[in-house]
Structure 1
């Protein structure tokens, strides 16, 4: 998500201290800079730059291949359920109703079942927005920072989350507003995935690229639920000047709007509309 404080308590998902030290050690090697002043936080527009995007794709592939201590279990589904429980506990009935929180458990189970055949698991960052990516302007070496949400997950989820972050700019007067016209187009997504798959050597087939692309698009739905729930919880525990509920509304809106096309008959949703008529719930 954006460059705002993440208040959700993740104690059960925090990476072990040993893993954190490994990451810090790797980060220092990745930086490989003599002058720290040459490091710059990327901007929102940098993510859409083809050359920069290729560097990010290759670095993401490297990150996903990291070997961390402890079990290599997927954290996504348990984390979603945990955050759902927290959101329902914190929300008033009036707040919960527009988000259909009582139906989200079923949605999580549906996604988990639909995506259960994806065995491409790696060590994921889970929050690869532009504020967590730095570049040495002299060497053009990418460094990934902020490992608060890092865990083992399907790599397609991490990539989907990165694509979703291209719709955000957290350094505007309205940092909570997402612009989905900036979501990468098909050619841009295919180019990113081809670089990602080829960065460790060899050239991926068209079928490999298309298979990963299909999974990424489906995991986009999980990303919307993930940060939608995060937004609802953050509204209740964070005093930062950020419209968390509107941010959450947009993520849930995208979930319901994209679900039918991505899941086919499984994506059928009752035609219920919010009182303000903004989106189907």
Structure 2
């Protein structure tokens, strides 16, 4: 679920100068010195905080008078546009969720192969990235048939990336690691409320029920919510960003997680509140899966479509557990203004609500 921290709109009605680490400012000065369009103009870049940050602090740094996006205007003259970069300052406690070096290696691989923003430099507690000139999707965009079809095709491409490193399923190890962390942080009352004492048994049940030798495994984003997807309005090219939770997993899990994210609107007045009436209906799920399977020119059969839909539905349970545990941990280690604990309650409530129906339907067929 982790709400996106990249490429969002500036927070508030007007730019607000914020403090970023001196190491980050030093890196920005070094980058500016190498760019002919801003070198020698003097002055620090304007630093603007971006909306949507839930794990890291993210800023847009921009220099007036650059020509990064310069174009000919109606008079035939080149107009100047500010050069922009994204500054990501890593948040507290993120090492409890993922290995930062693994995430940076993934980011660098994606960058080298033309996926996502380019890495421009690193400082001790963060990095500077290319600023993508595209629009971040909104919650409503996920339910737009045209955009949803583009996402399905792009996700199939993402799943087929030949990433370096082990290609084994990671979801069950992640669940057990996060459960251990949650137990270490929770009071006894919290542990009882969220039934953490029986959660190991729940994880084992899901792993035994769902894992199979014929399961399709690919490189998964694992956090495909709308804020992690950008689209170029003119070309309709789509870019998936933020790979902090990426790993190899059943592709059905990644799609299930994407479907679950349709219940969220992280830019509403109550960003932690989920509305599962917005979960895609039968026809929408079928359309997404058909597009996903046919996007690489393969001839999908009705059986393939139906089997993947069934697999996706069962993996929604794993998604609820993952982000439920994430919410519990985040409540203890992150001071960002977001009701992590209530978010966790909703994910676990959905798990217990849907588990009997989903497991019964899977075991009876």
Aligned to 1:146: 242
Distance 2:329 2:105 in 1: 29
User: Are residues 1:164 and 2:260 paired?
Assistant: yes
Asked if structure 2 preserves the Cα contact closer than 8 Å seen for 1:13 and 1:75, the reply is no
| Over 3 Å off, 4+ runs | 10-14, 16-19, 26-31
1:102 is matched with which residue?
Answer: 197
Q: Which blocks of at least 5 consecutive residues in structure 1 are unaligned?
A: 268-281
Of residues 111-120 and 39-48 in structure 1, the stretch that sits farther from structure 2 once superposed is 111-120
Is this contact kept in 2: 1:14–1:149, CA < 8 A?
no
**Is residue 27–residue 145 contact of structure 1 (8 Å, CA) maintained in 2?**
no
Q: Distance in 2 between matches of 1:101 and 1:160?
A: 23
Counterpart CA distance in 2 for 1:216 and 1:193 is 10
The answer to whether the Cα contact below 8 Å between 2:225 and 2:261 also exists between their aligned partners in 1 is: yes
In the TM superposition, residue 264 of structure 1 has moved relative to its aligned partner by 1.2
1:65-111 alpha-carbon deviations (Å, 9 max, x no partner): 00111110111000000000000110000111111000110000000
Match of 2:308, SS state, is: helix
Helix, strand or coil: the match of 2:263?
Answer: coil
CA shift for structure 1 position 18 = 4.3
Q: Which residue in 2 is equivalent to 1:81?
A: 176
TM-score by length of 1: 0.89
CA distance in structure 1 between the aligned counterparts of 2:156 and 2:132, rounded to whole angstroms: 26
Secondary structure at the residue paired with 1:143?
strand
| Structure 2: gaps spanning 5 or more residues | 5-52, 56-92, 119-130
Partners of 1:18 and 1:242 lie apart in 2 by 29
Which protein has the larger Cα radius of gyration, Structure 1 or Structure 2? 2
CA distance in 2, matches of 1:139, 1:221: 36
Match of 2:108 in 1: 21
Which structure has more relative contact order (CA 8 Å, sep 6+)? It is 1
1:158-209 Cα distance to aligned partner (Å, 9 max, x none): 0000000000000011000000000000000000000000000133111100
Q: Work out the CA distance in 2 between the residues paired with 1:107 and 1:80.
A: 10
2:295 is matched with which residue? 199
Q: 1:69 aligns with which of 164, 172, 179?
A: 164
Work out the CA distance in 2 between the residues paired with 1:82 and 1:29.
28
CA distance in 1, matches of 2:199, 2:101: 24
Query: Contact 2:153/2:291 (CA < 8 Å) preserved in 1?
Result: yes
Instruction: Kindly provide the CA deviation profile for residues 210-237 of structure 1, in whole angstroms up to 9, marking residues without a partner as x.
Output: 0000000000000000000000000000
CA RMSD after TM alignment: 2.0
Indicate whether 1:244 and 2:331 are aligned: no
Contact 2:97 2:178 in 1 (8 A): no
8 A contact 1:27–1:144 mirrored in 2: no
- What per-residue deviation string (whole Å, max 9, x for no partner) do you get for residues 7-33 of structure 1? 4423458636544322113345899xx
Once the two structures are superposed, residues 117-147 of structure 1 have per-residue CA deviations (whole angstroms, 9 ceiling, x without a partner) of 1520000000000000000111100000000
Give 1:59 deviation, angstroms: 0.3
Give the structure with the larger strand fraction.
2
How many pairs does the alignment contain? Answer: 263
Higher helix share: 1
- SS of 2:360's partner is helix
Name the structure 2 match of 1:10.
97
* Equivalent residues of 1:56, 1:142 under 8 A apart: yes
Displacement, 1:116? 1.4
Distance 2:174 2:116 in 1: 31
**Partner SS for 2:102:** coil
